[in-house]
Structure 1
C-alpha cells in the first residue's frame, strides 16, 4: 500500500533521522583521529572508554537537537526553528524569495536525501538551508514555496515546463578542451614530462603538480558540474538541472535576473558557441559564482534566445550599438528595454542590463581618459559577473547613451511591477500565462 504523503503546507517537519547517526559517527572519527594517539599512550582501555563516552555524549546532544530543529510553512512564511542550547527562530516571507534550489550530493543520492536551499535578498546570511530531507519532501516543499512566492495557494500544482536546451556531452567536452588556458597548460605539461624523461631531470616533475591541479580546476570541475545539463522554462521561471556527482535543480523565478553576460572566448567563436552568466538577486559571495551560469555552453543563437527569455518583450541582438572606436573601447547602445555593451578583442563579452532594473547610473572620467576625452558609462546592478559598463566612449556618445538610459528608465519603471507574487500580478506580461493562476 503506498505511503500517504503529509501535506507540506500545514505539517511540521524535521530532517531525516539519518542525520543523527551520521553526526555521531563524524564526531567519533574526529575524536579518534585527534585524541586517539595521545590516549594510546595510556593503553587501549583508555582509548575504548573515552571513545564510548564520546559516542554517547554526542548522541545525547544530537538527538534532542534534531528533534527540536523543525520547519514548516505558516501561510506564505517559512518558519525555521533551530538550536538546542541557544534556541533560534526565523520567519521568512516567501514573497521576497529570489531562488530555490534542490541539491543532491553523491552521498545524499545514495540514501535518497536532498538539501533545499531558499535564497533571499540580503547577502551571505540570507540563504536558508534545509539539509538531509527526503527527496520527495524536498521536491514538494520546493513546489509549495514557489507557489507561495508567486501568490498562489501552497497546494497549487507545479507549473508545467517547456524544454529550452539540453547540452550534448560531446559539445561540453569539446568546449572545455577548446580553450586557450587549457590548451596551453596541456602543451606545457607535455613539454615538462618530455624534458624530464629525455634529460633525466626529476626536478622538472615538481612543476607538473600545479599544472595538473590547474587542469583539474579548469576542466574536470566544470565537466562534472555541468554534465547532463538541461534548461527549461515555466511559469515559475527558469529551471536548470545539472551535475554528475552532485545533482542540482535550480529555479530562478521571473524578475530575479538583474543582468546577463554573454561570453564568447576566442576559440569558441570558431565553434559558434557562447556561455551565459547572470547577476541573480539573492546570490552573494561564493554562491554567486556557483549559481551565476545559466548556460555553460550553447550555440550563440540559443544563448541570446535565453537572454530574451529572461527579459521578456525584448531583443538584445536588435539593440543598435554605436562603436566606441579603438581596441580597448566598448560598443554601447540602449533601447526602451535594454542597455547593451560589447567589448573585448580576444574574448568578446556582451553585457545586457534591463533599463527598469538599473539601480544607479554614473558617468566616470579617469586621470588618463581625461586627456583623450573618453568617458565610461556605468549602470549599477547587484553583484555578479555582468558589470553593465561601457568603457572609453567619446564624450558626446557617452552623454547621449546616459540621457537615453535616464529617459527609457523613467518610462519603463512601474511602481506596481515588482518581482513579488508574479503569478497574480497583471502588470507582468509574459509570453506564457501560468495555468495555475486563478
Structure 2
C-alpha cells in the first residue's frame, strides 16, 4: 500500500461494525442461557425426585427426566426469545415474562452505579452480567444476565453516557490510575486484625488439645471457628485480590475479584457519605479502609458494595475522599475535641462535616453538607440534667452514622446552626447528581454566578465558622 501524497488527507476511519452501536435495536441474553436453565432444572429433578421414582424402576426415572427436559426447553426457549432489552433515548426498556408479560422503562437519570460482574463459570464462556443500580431501594435494580462480554461493556458505556447527558454513542471515558492494592499488603492487613489473630490462636489451641488428649468434643468448637475464618479471612482475600481503582469523568471505577471479576463504576455525586476505618493494629501499619454510603444501594447490596478501598495507606484514603467531594479537604477540617467521656472529635466547614470516634478502632465519618438528609439535636433526661446534647447528621441507609456525641448543650446548638447554614448555602440548583457531564453547560445557560459584591454582606462573627 502506497503512503499518501503530501497534502492528501489520511484515509477515513473504518465504519463501525453493525453490532457496535447499542443505542438502537433490541438485544437478548446469550443463547447459552437456554441449555443452562434446562440442565439446572433436570439436575434438580434427578436429585430430588429421582430417588423416589427409582422404586418404580429406572425406566420411569428416565422417562420423567426426558419429559422434564422437553418441558424446561419449551419454557426456557420462548422466555429467552421474549426477554429483550434496549435503549430508547435516555431510557432503558426491559421486556420479560412468558405467561405474564412485563415491561419496564427506566429513566437513566436515576442511575446510581453500573457493575459488570463475571463469575468464574461465565468467564470460561465469555459472558457477563450487567447490574444497573437505581435510586429507589432493593426492588429497583436491573440485572441483565448472560450477556456477551463485549455487549455488556458497550452497554455499560452507553448507559453511563445517557446518565451523564451525553449521546449514547459517546466513546468510553478515559481513566487515570489511582491505586492498585498489592497482594502482600492485602494478605498482611487481613491477618493483622485482632479477631483473626485470636481465632487463629484459639484454633491452634483446640487442635493441640485434640492431639494431646484425643478429646473429640473439641471438634465442636473447631467447626464454627473454621467457618468464621473462611468468611472473614478467605472471603475478603478472594474478593479483593487484584484490586485496582481509577478515576474518570464517569466517576470512580473499581476492578477486583479472584474467582468473580467485577468492574464497578460509581458516577460522580452518588457517594452520599464516607467513613475511614482504622482498626487498632492497622494504625501501626498506617493503613485504613474506606467505606461509603451510596443512595442506590439498599439492604444486602449496600454491604456488598460499600468498600471503596479495602486496604490503602491513610493519606491515599483521604485523597480519595477529596476526589469524591471536589473542592473539599477532609484532613484539614478544624475539629473540636470532646474529653468528657470516650475521646471523640467533630468539626464542620463550608464543605464537610467530620466526626472522629473510637478508642480501639478509630472511625472518621465524613458527610458533605449538601448531602445531609436531616439534622437532629437530641438529649435524654440524664443528658439534659448534665447539660449535654448530641447532634446527629442523617444520611441514606448505609455504614455511615455521623454524629457529634455528648457535647455541651450550647456547643451542640452551635454545631446544628452551622450545619444548617452551610447546608442551605451548598444546596444550589446545579448541585444535583443527574447528567453530570452537561451540568456546567446548564449553569452557563443560566448566566454567571453572582459576584461577591452582589451577595448579602455578613457582619464579622455571624458566619457559622466563627460561631464554632
TM bucket (normalised to shorter chain) is over 0.9
1:370, distance to aligned residue in structure 2 (A): 3.0
Secondary structure of the residue that 2:336 maps to in structure 1?
Answer: coil
1:30-179 counterparts in 2 under 5 A?
A: 30-179=44-193
Alpha-carbon distance between aligned partners in 2 of 1:389 and 1:401, rounded to the nearest angstrom? 10
Match of 1:435 in 2: none
Matches within 5 A, 1:31-430: 31-426=45-440
Give the alignment's TM-score, normalised by structure 1.
0.96
SS of corresponding position for 1:119: strand
SS in 2 for 1:47: helix
- Structure 1 CA distance for aligned equivalents of residues 199 and 381 of structure 2: 37
Contact 1:144 1:154 in 2 (8 A): yes
CA distance in structure 1 between the aligned counterparts of 2:291 and 2:177, rounded to whole angstroms: 19
Q: Name 2:448's counterpart in structure 1.
A: none
SS in 1 for 2:337: coil
Contact 2:335 2:347 in 1 (8 A): yes
Measured in 2, the distance between the counterparts of 1:409 and 1:32 equals 61
Task: Using the TM superposition, give the Cα deviation of residue 96 of structure 1 relative to its aligned residue in structure 2, in angstroms.
Answer: 1.1
Native 8 Å contact 1:329 1:391 kept in 2: no
Task: Give secondary structure in 2 for the equivalent of 1:323.
Answer: strand
Q: Give the secondary-structure state (helix, strand or coil) at the position aligned to 2:170.
A: coil
Alignment partners' CA distance in 2, 1:418 and 1:276: 24
Aligned equivalent of 1:436: none
Q: Give, in whole Å, the separation in 2 of the partners of 1:326 and 1:187.
A: 37
Report the Cα offset of residue 198 of structure 1. 1.3
Give me the whole-angstrom Cα distance separating, in 2, the residues matched to 1:202 and 1:326.
51
Distance 1:422 1:188 in 2: 52
> Cα distance, 1:393 vs. partner?
1.4
**CA contact under 8 A between 1:422 and 1:428: conserved in structure 2?**
no
Residue 16 (structure 1) aligned with residue 46 (structure 2): no
Distance in 1, matches of 2:22 and 2:254, equals: 23
Greater RCO, 1 or 2 (C-alpha within 8 Å, sep 6+): 1
Aligned residues between the structures: 428
Runs (5+) with no aligned partner, structure 2: 1-15, 444-468
Once residues 371 and 327 of structure 1 are traced to their aligned partners in structure 2, the CA distance between those partners, rounded to angstroms, is 16
CA distance in 2, matches of 1:377, 1:92: 38
Which stretch shifts more, 67-76 or 418-427? Answer: 418-427
Give the corresponding residue for 2:42.
28
Q: TM-score, normalised by structure 2?
A: 0.90
Q: Would you say the 8 A contact 2:20–2:154 is kept in 1?
A: no
Structure 1 residue 232, shift from structure 2 partner: 0.4
Q: Distance in 2 between matches of 1:204 and 1:417?
A: 59
* 3-state SS, counterpart of residue 158 of structure 1: coil
CA distance in 1, matches of 2:180, 2:112: 24
Q: Which moved more, 1:386-395 or 1:416-425?
A: 386-395
Identify the residue that residue 433 of structure 1 maps to in structure 2: none
CA contact under 8 A between 1:329 and 1:390: conserved in structure 2?
Answer: no
